[in-house]
Amino acid sequence: MLTGILCLAVFLVMAMFMYARRISALLALPIMAFAIALIGGVEPKAIVKDVLSAGSLKLHSAYTTTMFGAMLAELMNKHGMARALVRWVAEFAGDNPYLLGILLTAVTALLFSTLGGLGAVIMVGTIILPVMLSLGIPALAAAGLFLFGISLGGMFNLTNWQLYTDVLKVEQPTIVSFVVPFALILSFVVLVFLAIELKDRRNLKFLGLGSALLAGLYPLLDRFSPAGVASKEPVAVSYLVAGVALVVLAIFAALRHWKKSTDLPGIALLTPIIPLLFVLVFRWEIIPSFMLGIVFGVLTTWSSQSINLLTRSIIDGVSNVIPAVLLMMGIGMLIVAVMNPNVSDAIAPIIKVVVPTTAVSYVLVFALISPLALYRGPLSLWGMGSGLVSLMGKVTSLTSQAIMGMLMSVGQIQGVCDPTNTQNIWIATYLGIDTQAILRKTIPYAWLAVILGLSLSVAKGFVPW
């Protein structure tokens, strides 16, 4: 028991250091992995070979996927696709603050299903936030909408899915079965957030219409149950669709080359949808879907500089996600350290006492302690929680699906509210407000999303009654 307490003490000490910004997660995770393995009595040879060496490669699929996603995101950035899409929607929405806010949040979600990193936040934010402010949306409400949009898009970011697959061994159909309805739930929370924050009773009709639309969509998404998408085999017709599309796009690119076109055609704005389409509908693997999206983006914007732009996008995209790759290496080390029999046997008794395993306690306890996802805490898959959640599935009766549902639910508090997020810091600085003010403004709504997400996990049968 003493060994387990000391291991958890290492978690807490590192949490305090990260909270005080004395150390970054990039350094904290490997240090935690080494210290916990040492305290747990793991042999030095095993620490070097298994924890440090094999651990750094454990999530290789996740960070390889991240690199391909970054290449596509950088290609979109260099061609100005995100800016064009935002401006088109802003013109289409007119001057109604509520409709404009909702549409721009939807565009943000669409973009961040592919984009990622602070650079993308700055690129999109410098366009979206001034548009919101110009129509009278308060700065704090605009900040909240933008963050909810980023979080909503992050749920469909395929690189994040790979991390759940690698850490929890949750299959892609199960992830889809939770993400799709949870996206509707988070969309409802956004509708409520804006209706309350704008303080205009006339927006209640839009809230009602939007809620009715989301409720009507829910039954149509039944086919995204695990049984409905259980087959891992790609849909046969998808190869024909991809082949025909590539031939047509090649002809389109040849015509652009012949005409020496340099404009951005409207069809290019579909680029971020292509990977999602082939993963969700045609059941392709994530990396080939990203590759197809890259080819689509290149061919639809073809010019004499396309090869050079593609090359720079590949190099710059990979460079942009190096911090995320290093973070995943640290996560892999921590997982291997915690899952070592010496360590897991020491921590297991504490985990068994703390972690709820029935439906009611699952919702109540995790909703109550969800702020522990802040500051890369024990409920954050992108922080110290990466080791603990792996252990949860081993020593408790909670299924991997239940742990995934919990992490995605409580992750809304971390993704939207955390004052130490780089996007929160930049948004607060750009708008001239305080990160703590963003936390206070958004946490009630994020907490609502947590409770509804945990309830959805129970409704899906992930947790026994």
* Mean pLDDT value of segment 267-286: 86
* Mean pLDDT value of segment 300-328: 89
* Mean pLDDT value of segment 149-162: 87
pLDDT tens for each residue of 359-412: 999 999 999 989 888 876 778 777 667 777 777 877 788 888 999 999 999 999
Asked if residues 195 and 207 have their Cβ atoms less than 8 Å apart, the reply is yes
Looking at residue 143, its pLDDT comes to: 94
Asked if residues 380 and 411 have their Cβ atoms less than 8 Å apart, the reply is yes
DSSP line for 168-183: H---HHHHHHHHHHHH
CA-to-CA distance for 351 and 345, rounded, in angstroms? Answer: 10
The pTM of this model reads 0.81
Looking at residue 308, its pLDDT comes to: 93
Q: Determine how many CB atoms are found less than 10 A away from the CB of residue 206.
A: 19
CA-to-CA distance for 456 and 363, rounded, in angstroms? Answer: 10
DSSP line for 148-202: HHHHHHHHT-HHHHHHHHHHH---HHHHHHHHHHHHHHHHHHHHHHHHHHHT-GG
- Mean pLDDT for all residues in the chain: 85
Looking at residue 383, its pLDDT comes to: 67
Looking at residue 312, its pLDDT comes to: 94
**Binning pLDDT at 50, 70 and 90, where does residue 227 land?**
very low
Backbone angles phi, psi at 171, to 5 degrees: -75, 155
Q: Which residues, in sequence order, are CB contacts of 273 under 8 Å at separation 6+?
A: 110
Residue for token pair 């010496």? 342
| Sequence-ordered alpha helix ranges (H) in 40-138 | 44-46, 55-57, 60-79, 81-93, 97-112, 118-134
Torsion of CA 203, 208, 210, 216, to 10 degrees: -170
Q: Which residues, in sequence order, are CB contacts of 202 under 8 Å at separation 6+?
A: none
Looking at residue 26, its pLDDT comes to: 82
* Mean pLDDT value of segment 77-86: 83
For residue 151, give Cα distances in angstroms to 11, 64, 211, 254, 418.
Answer: 26, 22, 19, 38, 12
Helix (H) / strand (E) containing 391: helix 385-395
